[in-house]
Amino acid sequence: MNDPVLHIDSLSVDYGYDDNAVHALRDVSLTLHAGEVLGLAGESGCGKSTLAYAATRLLPPPGVITGGEVTFTSTRDDRSLNLLRASDSELRASRWDDTAIVFQGAMNSLNPVYRVGRQLTDMIATHRPKTSRARSRARAVELMDMVGISPDRLDDYPHQLSGGMRQRVMIAMALALEPQVVIMDEPTTALDVVMQRQIVEQIMELRARAGFSVIFITHDMSLLVELADRIAIMYAGRIVEDAPARDIYSAPRHPYTEGLLSSFPPLHGPRRKLGGIPGSPPDLQALPSGCAFAPRCPVAFDACGHERPDLTATVFGDDEPRRRVACLHHRRPLEDLPAHLRRQ
Amino acid sequence: MKYLLRRAAFYLVTAWAAITLNFFIPRMLPGDPVKALLNQYHGQLSSDATHSLYVLFGLDKQAGLWQQYLEYWGNILHGDFGLSFSFFPTPVSEVISQSLPWTLGLVGLSTVISFVLGTLAGVYAGWRRGSWLDGMLPVSTFFSAVPYFWIALIAIAVFAEGAQLFPASGGWDPALIPSFDGAFIGSVVSHGILPALTIVVSSVAGWILGMRNMMVTVSSEDYVTVAHAKGLKERTVMFGYAARNAVLPNVSNFALSLGFIVSGTLVTEMVFSYPGIGYVLWKAVGSKDYPLMQGVFLIITLSVLVANMIADVVYTMLDPRIRREA
Amino acid sequence: MVTTTVETTPAPARRASSRLLFLKNRKTQVGLAILGFFVLLALVGDLLAPYDPGHTGPDVLRPPSGAHLLGTTNTGQDVLSQLLVGTRGVLVVGLLAGLLATVLSVIVGVTAGFLGGVGDELLSLLANIFLVIPALPLIIIVAGQLPDAGGITVALVISLTGWAWCSRVVRAQTLSLRRRDFVEAARANGESLPRLVFFEILPNLTAVITTSFIGTVIFAILSEITLAFIGVTSISDWNWGTILFFAQNNQALDQGAWWWFVPAGLCIAAVGTALTLINFGIDEFVNPRLRTTGRDAKLLRAKRIRARVGFTPVYRGTDGREGS
């Protein structure tokens, strides 16, 4: 396995500054390895976007980080940066150059009063001040080509572009400085299915060419099928399962993952009854004690109500070294593990 | 382009409305104050002058209303606003043209300074929330709650009478003859400082508040977060991404509030006896000089319309979404 | 597809608990307190006044003393009494003008916002015309040509010239509300137009209408004071502006009689500030981003956290703080 390029260790994030603050993330640990595509999935409000923005310190007020470490380790040189302890200038220098974010390309992500070309290249002037204007312009044209938009649109304003084009501009913008990590926050949510497909293919292609690592955030598990190498599932501000993508699909180890997977019908294979998960995600301000998923879990037992499971190895231990799961079933003997959680 | 044409059409309609309003006001009000005064001056007026005053005030009972209206328009387009009663026999247009430049200078300058200062302060106050600038807000709000003229009175009491720093009234030293030399210009400037200061102090709070609120709103927009994520310098994000977008409502508010601003500055002129339009209006009200009053009102309204048009052009240059609106 | 929870936008009518939150805002409390004080004065001012405001006496131009707490004018009239008696005139005209203007602007604004199309264009044109024409000169012209401009007349004139601003705001808000789902839902349910306007739209306009009303009252008060100061309105009704009118015309400034004109201005400023504070409170209540600024400011200062957009603060509690 490759070296870790972004390591998030026990990150905790609150919304609010007083005692009523909502604990949006609690002790989340996640590692992104060089060259891999890590999918971050979960329902709306589970904290996946919060995780990405907190790790890059872009979470808006009233967000505040209350614990943990986030380390970026460059694969091109010997640099390493602790993002939570860095100074403003260190952080600014690292931003976009090392880690870039593809925001949702909704109307608001682009500055309405600047032309597209300017927004594609203003960070070049900041990070590589010696670049000539001609070179910057050439780079802008390159970027537009990469995402399949005609370079004449460089002189347009954001409101003149369609939704799909804006999203592609966001992708192009993220790649401008050839970053090592690209975080994609629901890049296809606002688009129709056909557009989604195109964008996903574009991302795959760009990644194959440039080799950057990706964190792909989405609530749509079906997208991660082809895209991801690993998948981390989040629920109520914690990671509940973390495993290679193939394994998650064929052999989920957490009841929530199993529920998610059975919620969408496969296009091929025998017809089966559509599952789903009863109930709705918990209110983060009134979390149940013990496992947050227990109220909705079909296989919860007594301990689930008062003991909170940590993210640990599965019950199969060293046989599945790259898998982690946060479920009390995996502390019990293998025989007691429910059938649907112990497929191979 | 189409946007500007629409605005131009609007201003033409408004100008027409203002002129028509001016036509109707003396005819709608009870009493016949003009008749009495006309009788007083009867022997000294030429028949043309008398006739134009009749048209202006609807005293010509023979002509129908529509015909009076047309004649009124004819006069207006020739710049004939009648003769002033209090500056008899000077035509109203002459009185106005002598005092208008003073007002444009004072009001124009003060308003622009106030807007620029207020907007800049608002940018910083909205960007760094909780700083000392936020503490300044109650103070400037207090000042904006006071009528312009009261601040003028205090300013005179403190700076002119008390500390004897600036002159208390007038546009220039009465001992000097108006000319383009250093002494005269210096005198104009020193006479203009207190009135200008009064206007700026009273009006700056509105701009600070408006800009600050918009900055707070815009700072939480996605594109500002994107700008931060790009690692751009703080100055670039604050001005280029946040302020540049936040200022737009302020610019259109500026245009809209020109009417209010002009009103306030008129009173300041009255207090300082500054030889501008406001002072002239005051004198006209005091001496019931109706032709002058109406001429002044018309000129003020038309100037505000012109200023509004300029503000609209500026807004179009700033917001590309309007510019390209097809 | 994964079952995702659909977030329902709650029906935006104000609940009782949030109304209390509005009152808890310090700015609002201060504003209401000051305003309440002046309303009280307006009600009982003439009972409290030690002298008849027009009563002349031998003690001319005396600075504040025991007998005359705010001194006397150049004809021996008691300034304090003038101030107390004048309060009612100021507030009555201000509130009346504000009320009339707001009613007018709501009618025009809601109609324009609701009708759309040509009706909207025409009404907006009307509003814009009144907005652009400078109010004070117009008021001066009209009031100056009226034989005797008393309080009610002044209120009427002010409201006819000052209604345009609010109507724009009301119209904009109505337009955005009209497109909202709950209005469409009500329409689809067959709710009649009057019911729609009164029960769905108007309650959500409360904040906008209140802010506009208060703004108009400020404008009305400043206008009437200014008119009185210039001498355009009747000087037989006492208000703070007439005090200043007499002060100005009798060279109070030159004679250093600060007690004659300073208190009146301070009162105007106090009322204006009180109303503005209430408006701030409403603003903060309506725009939560502004609200958290104030409320959290103390907490942030105590914990030395700098809450900035783009640089999430790191606060590790008692074991040291770093980053900001």
Say if the Cβ atoms of B229 and A103 lie within 8 Å.
yes
Q: Determine the residue of chain C that is closest to B209 in CA distance.
A: C280
**Do the Cβ atoms of A252 and A306 come closer than 8 Å?**
no
C306 CA: distance to closest CA in chain A (Å): 10
Fold for the domain defined by C16-53+75-291: MetI-like fold (1.10.3720)
Q: Provide, as residue numbers in chain A, all residues whose Cβ is less than 8 Å from the Cβ of B218.
A: none
Whether A56 contacts chain B with CB within 8 A: yes
β-pair type (A181-185, A22-33): unpaired
DSSP annotation of A247? H
One-letter identity of residue C257 = A
pLDDT over 50 at A136, yes or no: yes
The helix (H) or strand (E) run that includes residue A80 is strand A80-82
Tally the C-alpha atoms within 13 A of residue B248's C-alpha that lie toward its C-beta: 17
C38 CA: distance to closest CA in chain B (Å): 15
A145 CA: distance to closest CA in chain C (Å): 30
ipTM value for the complex = 0.87
HEC assignment per residue over C17-79: HHHHHHHHCHHHHHHHHHHHHHHHHHHHHHHHCCCCCCCCCCCCCCCCCCCCCCCECCCCCEH
| Local structure of B147: helix, strand or coil | coil
Q: What is the DSSP string of A282-300?
A: PPGGGPPSS-TTGGG-TT-
Say if the Cβ atoms of C134 and B258 lie within 8 Å.
yes
B123 CA: distance to closest CA in chain C (Å): 14
Angle (nearest 5°) at CA B143 between B137 and B144: 85
Q: Provide, as residue numbers in chain C, all residues whose Cβ is less than 8 Å from the Cβ of A221.
A: 2
What pLDDT does A272 receive?
A: 66
Say if the Cβ atoms of C315 and A65 lie within 8 Å.
yes
More confident residue, B181 or C265: C265
The helix (H) or strand (E) run that includes residue A138 is helix A133-146
The two tokens of residue C6 are: 């659909």
What pLDDT does B15 receive?
A: 83
Say if the Cβ atoms of B266 and C137 lie within 8 Å.
yes
In angstroms, the CA B206 to CA C133 distance is 20
Q: pLDDT tens, A117-131?
A: 999 889 898 999 888
B220 CA: distance to closest CA in chain A (Å): 7
Say if the Cβ atoms of C136 and B146 lie within 8 Å.
no
Nearest CA to A105 out of A199, A171, A203 is that of A171
Q: pLDDT tens, B11-30?
A: 888 888 888 877 777 666 55
A108 CA: distance to closest CA in chain B (Å): 5
Q: Determine the residue of chain C that is closest to A262 in CA distance.
A: C2
Say if the Cβ atoms of C140 and B262 lie within 8 Å.
no
In angstroms, the CA A324 to CA A34 distance is 19
In angstroms, the CA B269 to CA B274 distance is 5
Listed by start position, the domains of chain A span 105-178
Q: pLDDT tens, B52-74?
A: 666 666 665 656 777 777 877 88
Q: Which A-chain residues 119-158 have CB contacts (< 8 A) with chain B?
A: 122-123, 126-127, 157
End-to-end CA distance of chain A: 22
A43 CA: distance to closest CA in chain B (Å): 22
More confident residue, B259 or A210: A210
Of C137, C142, C226, the CB nearest to B149: C226
- Strand order across the beta sheet in which A213-218 lies: A99-102, A181-185, A213-218, A37-41, A230-235, A238-244, A324-325, A312-313
pTM of the model: 0.79
The two tokens of residue A63 are: 């967000």
Instruction: Please give the interface size between B and C, counted as residue pairs whose CB atoms are below 8 Å apart.
Output: 175
Whether A112 contacts chain B with CB within 8 A: yes
- Look up tokens 């109707």; give the residue: B24
Of C135, C258, C272, the CB nearest to B146: C272
In angstroms, the CA B145 to CA C214 distance is 12
Instruction: Name the burial class of residue B132, with classes exposed (0-12), middle (13-18) and buried (19+) by CB atoms within 10 angstroms of its CB.
Output: exposed
Q: Which A-chain residues 229-268 have CB contacts (< 8 A) with chain C?
A: 260, 263-264
CA separation (Å) from A191 to A105, A164, B156, C68? Answer: 9, 7, 65, 76
Q: Provide, as residue numbers in chain B, all residues whose Cβ is less than 8 Å from the Cβ of C287.
A: 213, 216-217
DSSP annotation of C315? B
Query: CA C60, C65, C71, C72 torsion: positive or negative?
Result: negative
Q: Determine the residue of chain B that is closest to A62 in CA distance.
A: B220
Nearest CA to A187 out of A173, A210, A244 is that of A173
Please count the other Cβ atoms lying within 10 Å of the Cβ belonging to residue B6: 12
Listed by start position, the domains of chain C span 16-53+75-291, 300-324
Q: Provide, as residue numbers in chain A, all residues whose Cβ is less than 8 Å from the Cβ of B244.
A: 111, 113
| Local structure of C189: helix, strand or coil | coil
What pLDDT does C8 receive?
A: 30
B112 CA: distance to closest CA in chain A (Å): 23
Q: Which residues contact A136 (CB under 8 A, 6 or more apart)?
A: A121, A124, A125
Which among A12, A49, A59, A64 is the top mutation candidate for probing chain C, defined by the most C β-carbons within 10 Å of its own β-carbon?
A64
Which spans in chain B are helix H?
2-28, 33-41, 47-57, 65-77, 92-127, 132-145, 148-155, 182-219, 222-229, 234-235, 244-272, 277-286, 290-318, 320-323
**Do the Cβ atoms of C34 and C271 come closer than 8 Å?**
yes
Tally the C-alpha atoms within 13 A of residue B297's C-alpha that lie toward its C-beta: 27
Query: CA C141, C145, C146, C149 torsion: positive or negative?
Result: positive
Which among A111, A120, A156 is the top mutation candidate for probing chain B, defined by the most B β-carbons within 10 Å of its own β-carbon?
A111
Q: Provide, as residue numbers in chain C, all residues whose Cβ is less than 8 Å from the Cβ of B16.
A: none
- Residue-range domains of chain B with CATH: 2-77 (no CATH), 93-325 (1.10.3720.10)
Q: pLDDT tens, B66-114?
A: 777 787 788 778 777 777 767 767 778 888 888 888 888 888 888 889 9
The two tokens of residue B154 are: 């205090």
B118 CA: distance to closest CA in chain A (Å): 22
Say if the Cβ atoms of C273 and B145 lie within 8 Å.
yes
β-pair partners for A311:
none
Q: Determine the residue of chain A that is closest to B230 in CA distance.
A: A96
With bands split at pLDDT 50, 70 and 90, how would you rate the model's confidence at B1? low
Of C2, C296, C312, the CB nearest to A63: C312
Of A101, A157, A159, the CB nearest to B229: A101
**Do the Cβ atoms of C236 and C253 come closer than 8 Å?**
no
Q: Provide, as residue numbers in chain A, all residues whose Cβ is less than 8 Å from the Cβ of C305.
A: 17, 64
Backbone φ and ψ for A243, nearest 5 degrees, come out as -160, 165
Q: What is the DSSP string of C242-271?
A: HHHHHHHHTTTTTTT-HHHHHHHHHHHHHH
What pLDDT does C2 receive?
A: 27
Say if the Cβ atoms of C140 and B150 lie within 8 Å.
no
Q: What is the DSSP string of A11-76?
A: EEEEESSSTT-EEEEEEEEEEEETT-EEEEE-STTSSHHHHHHHHTT-PPTTEEEEEEEEEEE-SS
In angstroms, the CA C291 to CA C281 distance is 9
Which spans in chain C are helix H?
16-24, 26-48, 79-115, 117-132, 135-145, 151-162, 164-178, 181-188, 193-195, 202-204, 206-230, 240-249, 258-286, 288-303
Q: Determine the residue of chain C that is closest to A60 in CA distance.
A: C309
> For the residues A97-112, what does the mean pLDDT come to?
85
One-letter identity of residue C158 = I
Return per-residue pLDDT of chain C as tens, 324 residues.
Answer: 222 222 233 333 444 445 566 666 777 888 889 889 888 888 887 787 777 777 777 777 777 777 777 777 778 788 888 888 888 888 888 899 999 999 998 888 888 887 777 888 888 888 878 877 777 777 777 776 666 667 787 888 888 888 888 888 888 788 777 777 777 787 788 777 777 777 777 777 887 888 888 888 988 888 888 888 877 777 777 888 888 888 877 877 777 777 887 888 888 888 888 888 888 788 777 776 666 555 666 777 777 777 778 888 888 875 444 444
Of B223, B231, B240, the CB nearest to A108: B223
Of A58, A94, A159, the CB nearest to B225: A58
Q: Note every long-range contact of A202-210, with CB atoms under 8 Å and residues 24 or more positions apart, other chains counting.
A: A202/A147, A202/A148, A202/A168, A202/A171, A203/A171, A203/A227, A206/A146, A206/A147, A206/A171, A206/A175, A207/A37, A210/A175, A210/A178
Q: pLDDT tens, B209-227?
A: 888 888 888 888 889 999 9
More confident residue, B285 or B38: B285
In angstroms, the CA B254 to CA B258 distance is 6
Say if the Cβ atoms of A43 and C313 lie within 8 Å.
no
Which among C124, C132, C295, C304 is the top mutation candidate for probing chain B, defined by the most B β-carbons within 10 Å of its own β-carbon?
C132
Chains that touch B (3 or more CB pairs under 8 A): A, C
